[in-house]
Structures are given as structure tokens and as C-alpha cells.
Amino acid sequence: MQTLPWSWYTDPDVLRREQERIFRSAWQYVGHGGMVAEDGDQFAAEAGDVPVLVVRDGEAVGAFLNVCRHRGSQLVEGSGNGKSIQCPYHAWTYGLDGRLRAAPRADREAGFDADGLSLVELRLEQWGSLLFVNPDVDASPLLETLGPVTELVPLDGLEFRVRDDYELGANWKIACENYLECYHCPVAHKGFSAAFEVSPDSYRLEPTGEHVLSQFAPSKEDGEGQFHFVWPNLRINVYPGPGNVSVGPMLPAGPEWSRGYLDYFFATDAEETWIEELMAFDRQVGAEDRALVERVQRGVRSALIEHGRLLPESEQLVARFQELVRAAL
Ligand code: FES
Ligand SMILES: [Fe+2]
């Protein structure tokens, strides 16, 4: 079984097609409810290359394209709070409901019509306190996409702790594919393989939903780790022990560059030392994976080989991911 053509991991035209055909119609995690807890809270995020603005307006949390209707400036950077959203370029000012409320000198322009100049609304839906945005207004509901994940992963009683940001010198698909197999675990993750059963007879790979590819790793002590991938680019990790979830996307930042983050949530009664140990463990695995995916990028870039060879059993989830990419493009 062949991999995707390796040129797809360096070609800017392929990335352009991926942005249009994958990311513009997918549900994408953008943050959590704590980021918009108060009226007027707002933060910038990304859904693929679509700039997103998430805003709390009273009881409602909504998402807009983070782009000014005047000459296209990005509106909000980072996060903030306010009664309105003001563009830093010429001070067009929008309400928290997205309507254009004021534009300096507009009264001197005949026929200026603020009504057609509201911010463009995007779909926003929640799973527990996790916020997802989809640029496609006709998308099917988020919970349909998440399928079995909402039953497998309990979010109740968890509290946000920290966001880890990262950048990788690798195409986003290489990062996803690396996440989707544990064939490399015995070789490249000694710590992980000491704590979890990684042999093919114990470690389970399961497409648990149309858009969900899951992995279950029995712990050598008690319980099991769950590692879910939600198409096109979301990781959801649950370790055994006290309540914990980490969730975050792998976003393309260029044909050979990706970036992302992981938001960590823990049960309020989880012990501090346990949390710190788990995070150190997870960051160690992350550092090992970074080295792996950057090596792959350097290899596939060489252009003398057209594609690689997949193992249909041990890399079945990678194969499924590549099928989804192929079908989308
Ligand atoms: S681009 Fe936003 S006010 Fe001019
Ligand atoms: Fe790994």
C-alpha cells in the first residue's frame, strides 16, 4: 500500500487545495468556555487559514470572520474584553452582535449603508465547554462529527490548566500521521512504552467514527490511555488516572511548517504532583515526536522518491487519514 505522493508534503498548490477543500468545511477546535467567560470577552483563533473571532455577547457565544468589512484588516489579535469591536486601522466599530455601529466620516458619504457591512458570521458549536468553529454555514452539527468521542471522553468536572503552543518544521499531515500510529512507539518512545502496552496485540487502533480515528493503550498499571483523532487535525488525549483531557489542533503554517497547541484540563481534585508528572511525561513524548516528524519532512523533501510504503495493519489509521485527504482533494 502506497503513501500519498511525497510531493504533497512540500507543494504550495496542494496546501492551497487543502485549505479550500478540507479546512473551510471542517469543525475545528478554537478554545474553551473559560476564554469567553465574561460579557464582552473576545479572542482571535484560526480555522485552517480562516481568521476567527470568538465573542461573548450576553448569554450568547458567537464566532465571526476576524476581518474588517472596510479594507480587510484583521480585527482582534490575542484576546481582550470590550463593549464593541474596533478595527485598529480606521476605527470602524462593530457591536458584539457583529453589526457595524460606527464608521468615522461615514456621515459625509452619500448612500453609506451600514446594514450590509456586518461581520461575517461563522458556525460555532460546543461540546461541553470546548468551542468549535466551522466556516461552512451548511455543515452538519458538531456532535455528529465527534460521534463516539463525546461518550468515550468525560469532560465533566474538568478545569482548564494550561495551553502548550508549539511549532514544527513539518507539513501538518506528517504531524497527523505520526499521531495516528504507535508502530514507532517501541523504537522512539521508551518512556511511553515502559508505561503502556504498545505491542500490536494489546494496543488497539479503531476507526470509531466516520471522522474519528481512535487508539487505546492499556496501561501497565491500571486503566488505559485514549488517543482520538478527529478529522482533519484534532488530537484528544486522555490518560488513565484522575480526570484529564488534552485537546488541540495541528494547523498548517506553510507547506513545510505547522503549528498548534494543546489545552490541558484536569479534575479539580487531581493532585498537583500527579498533574506535574503527567505533563512532564506528555511533553517528553511531544519532544520525541517533534524530532521524528522533522526528520520525515527532511526526507520526503528530497524528491528522488515519489512515495513510501504503508503497513495496512499497523498503519491502518494512517491509511484511513490518507484516504480522507485523497478524497477531499
Ligand atoms: S480596514 Fe478596518 S477600518 Fe479600515
Ligand atoms: Fe509518537
CA of 69 to the centre of ligand 1 (A): 7
Which atom of ligand 1 is least distant from the CA of 87? 2
Rounded to 10 degrees, what is the CA torsion of 77, 79, 81, 83? Answer: 40
Q: Cell 462593530 identifies what position?
A: 94
Residues in the chain with pLDDT values less than 50: none
68 within ligand 1 shell (Cβ under 6 A): yes
Q: How confident is the model over 261-270, as pLDDT tens digits?
A: 999 999 999 9
- The pLDDT, as a whole number, for residue 27 is 98
pTM of this prediction exceeds 0.85? yes
180 within ligand 1 shell (Cβ under 6 A): no
92-120 burial code (b ≥16 CB/10 A, e <16): bebbbbbebbebeeeeeeeeeeeeebbbe
Which atom of ligand 1 is least distant from the CA of 73? 1
Smallest CA separation from ligand 1 atom 4, residue = 90
- The pLDDT, as a whole number, for residue 182 is 98
CA of 81 to the centre of ligand 1 (A): 19
CA of 111 to the centre of ligand 1 (A): 18
- The pLDDT, as a whole number, for residue 313 is 96
> Exposed, middle or buried, 13 (CB in 10 Å: 0-12/13-18/19+)?
exposed
Give bridge partners of residue 228 from the DSSP assignment.
214, 236
Other beta carbons within 10 angstroms of residue 16's beta carbon come to: 12
Q: How confident is the model over 156-201, as pLDDT tens digits?
A: 999 999 999 999 999 999 999 999 999 999 999 999 999 999 999 9
- The pLDDT, as a whole number, for residue 239 is 98
- The pLDDT, as a whole number, for residue 135 is 97
- The pLDDT, as a whole number, for residue 161 is 98
- The pLDDT, as a whole number, for residue 303 is 85
92 within ligand 1 shell (Cβ under 6 A): yes
CA of 98 to the centre of ligand 1 (A): 14
CA angle (315, 213, 157) in 5-degree steps:
135
73 within ligand 1 shell (Cβ under 6 A): yes
Smallest CA separation from ligand 1 atom 3, residue = 90
Helix, strand, coil share of the chain (percent; to 5): 30, 35, 35
Pocket probe mutation, ligand 1, options 53, 64, 68, max atoms within 8 Å of Cβ = 68
Residue 84, CB-side half-sphere exposure with 13 Å CA sphere? 14
Extract the C-alpha cell encoding 283.
Answer: 511533553
How far apart are the C-alpha atoms of 17 and 106, rounded to whole Å? Answer: 38
How far apart are the C-alpha atoms of 182 and 205, rounded to whole Å? Answer: 9
